[in-house]
Structures are given as structure tokens and as C-alpha cells.
Amino acid sequence: MLKLDFHPAGRHFLQIPGPSPVPDRILRAMSLPTIDHRGPEFGVLGLKVLEGIRKIFKTTQPVVIYPASGTGAWEAALTNTLSPGDAVLMYETGHFATLWKKMAENLGLKPEFLGLPGTEGWRRGVQADRIEARLRADAGHTIKAVCVVHNETSTGVTSDIAAVRRAIDAAGHPALLLVDTISGLASADYRHDEWGVDVTVSGSQKGLMLPPGISFNAVSPKALEASKTAKLPRSFWGWGEIIEMNKQGYWPYTPSTNLLYGLAEAIDMILAEGLENVFARHQRLAGACRAAVTAWGLDIQCADPAVYSPVLTGVMMPEGIDADAVRKLIYEHFDMSLGTGLGKVKGRMFRIGHLGDCNDLTLMATLSGCEMGLRLAGVKLAGSGVVAAMDHLTRHAVKPALGMAA
């Protein structure tokens, strides 16, 4: 029996790729009193977060904030822009791409799923040339949207969104570009405007370091135009009324006030560190994590070094080892949660999250727990991943922002 009131010594290590650990500073900001969401102070908070979040998406366009998990923002992206029976082109990069496709089917859309056979596509990113070829073949422009996942959280593989944009343009095709960067935002380089994305979907509990519960749609003028004629039923998700009321910092219904306090704090923290520094920190930690996996003699789920995720690393288990049994053992011995293998790769791999509020020593402790756990599970390791990661971090040494600069 699990006893919820039992508190083991030290901190739980929440090293799943979302929800990621929430910094104390954000928890404290969220502990402010819940205020009247129609009162004057709320408008100040609303305008502050709506303005700040655009910087994180790198957009000057509206960003809609929903009191919902990321899945809700997926639904919002589809229902605001598309009509029943519309063909959409999706790309199988992993479990989350598969779930988004299932949602499209549930909503009465006609998704076509590009990808590679078996789990081959679960080891690499979107091949933009295949999207271009498919769109060129669609001379009648029946495909209304291209939907891709930027950071596939089930595998630890990113996709080149700028290349997908170029593919759509090269085909001269008018389809909208919808992108899920639920786990990429504020961890991996992302540029809503520059990459010409029509709707970017994101969520709170990954790179933004917030608890689960709010999610986002960044909306291009073209997507906003499409929403005026799109016929999928929507009410709660409808952009029009929300964007109108957001101009004064308010919502048509009760927003998640305390999560918005947290969001304001998270934006301050990210912008103080500097978005580019945040991305570089994630790249460096990811490099150290991969050095560890390689030194253990294990395979990384992502087979293409050009698209390694800076957010998480998928670790493949040798034949005959159940990845979930290793995870369970690590949880029980070291009070650390690692991500399970999802969908087609369940039991074959586990995922190490290194996103959000993570530094060198967080990662080193995480890798120590993994290495000890792998040994306890009887996995034959080629060498010490911990030593390799320390070596990587010291060879690429940087001073973290400690606020001590002259």
C-alpha cells in the first residue's frame, strides 16, 4: 500500500519529461491569494502574461491561454481552423504525433499519416521532402493543414520546423502549418513568426516549469482568418471572444489565476536568464546525458544526431531487459521518476528528462541514480556514464547565472 503521508528524506527527483520540477520561486508566486478575475488587478496580471508569453514564442501575434492541459490546446488548434471532413497531413514521429492524429479522427477530420514502417520513424524527425512531395501531388489543395510535433516527447527527437515551412512553400500549397511544441517551448529553440507557423500549441508543465493546467495557442493572421470560416463545432475553445477580451487582460470565463501568477514568474526567470542561454543550457545538459548513455554502451532512441532533443534522452534497453522494471527499481531505491516508454516502444526504453529547472548537479544526480539502478537491474554496462557526463560538463564548462556578475 502506498502511503501518501510518508515523506522520504531529501527531494524526490522528478526526471520525467514533464511535468518538470516547479522551482520554489514559482510555487511561492502561486501562493498569492486568488483575486477577482474581473477586478482591476487581474487586468494588470492578464496583460503582463499575455505580453510576456509572446516573447517566449517569439511572436508579435496573439497567444491564447487556456485553463487546460496541452491536449485541450491541440483540440483548440484543430477546431478553430478546420471543418468536418477536412484532410490533414500528419507525420508519425512517435506517441504524441499518434495521439494528435487520433484526436483529428475523433473530431471528424481525415488525417493522413506519413511516416516510416514499424518504429523506424520513432527514431528520427520529420522528413520535410516527403511532406513537399505529398503536397505537390495534392494539386486540388484538398489538404487543409500540415500538423507536426516539434519535440517528440515519447522519443527525444526534434523536427526541423523551418524545413517543413520551406517544404510547404516550395510546393506552393496553401495548407496551414500547425505545430505541437508542448515539450519544446522554453527549452528548445522555437520561432513562431520566423518559421511561419500558423498555430503553435504548447503547455505549462514542461519547459515553462509550471504545474500542469494551462496551455497555449499562438495564432498567425492566416490562422485567425481561417477561424472565421472553419466549421468544426467549438465554444470553450473559440479564439474570437478570448482574443477580444484579452485586449483588456481578461477572459470570457474564469482563468487559472494562480497558474497565471506562476506564469508571470516563469517568464521573468526565463527572460532574466535569456532565452538563448536557456537553450544553450539545455543543449549542454543533453550532450552530457548522451555522453553517459554512450559510455554505458546503450543506444539512444534518436538515431539522427542532427535532431537530438535538448529536452530529454530516450535510453534503449538491451534485448531481454524490461525498461519499466528498471524504472521501477530506480524509483524504489532512489526516489526518482523516469519517463516510461510510450506506445510502440513501451518496455523497450525509458526517458531521462533534463528540462526546465535543471542544472549540472541535478543532471549528475539523475545519471548517478540511473547508473546505480542499471547495475542493480543486472544490465551490463560498458563503462561509467557518470564519469563520461562529468567529463563532458567540465570540458564544456560554463558558469551558471548566479546573479554575482560585477
Ligand X SMILES: *Cc1c(COP(=O)(O)O)cnc(C)c1O
234 annotated as a binding-site residue: no
Q: Which is nearer to ligand X, 71 or 283 (CB)?
A: 71
Q: Which is nearer to ligand X, 358 or 388 (CB)?
A: 358
In the region spanning residues 207 to 236, those forming contacts with ligand X, defined by CB under 6 A, are 212
Cis peptide, bond prior to residue 21, ω within 30 of zero? no
Applying CB under 6 A, does 180 fall inside the site for ligand X?
yes
Mask of contacts with ligand X, 37-56, x by CB under 6 A?
--------------------
Backbone angles phi, psi at 324, to 5 degrees: -70, -30
Q: Which is nearer to ligand X, 296 or 350 (CB)?
A: 350
Applying CB under 6 A, does 153 fall inside the site for ligand X?
yes
Q: Which is nearer to ligand X, 123 or 392 (CB)?
A: 123
Q: How far is the CB of 169 from ligand X (least distance, A)?
A: 25
Q: Smallest Cα–Cα separation from 321: which of 336, 341, 343, 306?
A: 341
With beta carbons less than 8 A apart as the criterion, state whether 324 and 340 touch.
yes
Q: How far is the CB of 303 from ligand X (least distance, A)?
A: 19
Spell out the residues 6+ positions from residue 139 whose beta carbon is closer than 8 angstroms to its own: none
Count of alpha carbons within 13 angstroms of residue 390, beta-carbon side: 6
Of 42, 96, 195, 251, the one binding ligand X (CB under 6 A) is: 96
Q: Which is nearer to ligand X, 69 or 362 (CB)?
A: 69
Which residue is closest to ligand X by CB? 70
Q: How far is CA 209 from the centre of its chain?
A: 11
Distance CA 258, CA 70 (A): 18
Of 5-13, 68-76, 222-230, 363-371, the window that binds ligand X (rule: CB under 6 A) is 68-76
Applying CB under 6 A, does 262 fall inside the site for ligand X?
no
Q: Which is nearer to ligand X, 327 or 392 (CB)?
A: 327
Spell out the residues 6+ positions from residue 356 whose beta carbon is closer than 8 angstroms to its own: 20, 21, 186, 187, 206, 207, 208, 209
Query: DSSP states of 27-72 as a string?
Result: HHHHTSPP--TTSHHHHHHHHHHHHHHHHHHT-SS-EEEESS-HHH
Determine the length of the chain. Answer: 406
Distance CA 82, CA 69 (A): 21
Applying CB under 6 A, does 187 fall inside the site for ligand X?
no
Distance CA 29, CA 263 (A): 9
Q: How far is the CB of 342 from ligand X (least distance, A)?
A: 10
Applying CB under 6 A, does 182 fall inside the site for ligand X?
yes
Of 2-10, 124-132, 162-170, 178-186, the window that binds ligand X (rule: CB under 6 A) is 178-186
Q: How far is the CB of 201 from ligand X (least distance, A)?
A: 8
3-state secondary structure of 352: strand
Q: How far is the CB of 91 from ligand X (least distance, A)?
A: 13
Of 71, 340, 362, 384, the one binding ligand X (CB under 6 A) is: 71
Applying CB under 6 A, does 200 fall inside the site for ligand X?
no
Query: What's the 3-state SS for 161-180?
Result: HHHHHHHHHHCCCCCEEEEE
Distance CA 122, CA 209 (A): 26
Angle at 340 between CA 337 and CA 341, to 5 degrees: 160
Applying CB under 6 A, does 353 fall inside the site for ligand X?
no
Q: How far is the CB of 340 from ligand X (least distance, A)?
A: 13
Applying CB under 6 A, does 107 fall inside the site for ligand X?
no
Distance CA 211, CA 213 (A): 6
Q: Smallest Cα–Cα separation from 78: which of 69, 67, 88, 68?
A: 88
Applying CB under 6 A, does 258 fall inside the site for ligand X?
no
Applying CB under 6 A, does 69 fall inside the site for ligand X?
yes
Of 6-14, 165-173, 180-188, 272-280, the window that binds ligand X (rule: CB under 6 A) is 180-188
Applying CB under 6 A, does 155 fall inside the site for ligand X?
no
Mask of contacts with ligand X, 9-28, x by CB under 6 A?
---------x----------
Distance CA 37, CA 40 (A): 8
Q: How far is the CB of 206 from ligand X (least distance, A)?
A: 6
Q: Which residues bind ligand X (CB under 6 A)?
A: 18, 69-71, 96, 149, 153, 180, 182-183, 203, 212
Binding-site residue ranges for substrate: 351
Residue ranges for the binding site?
Answer: 351
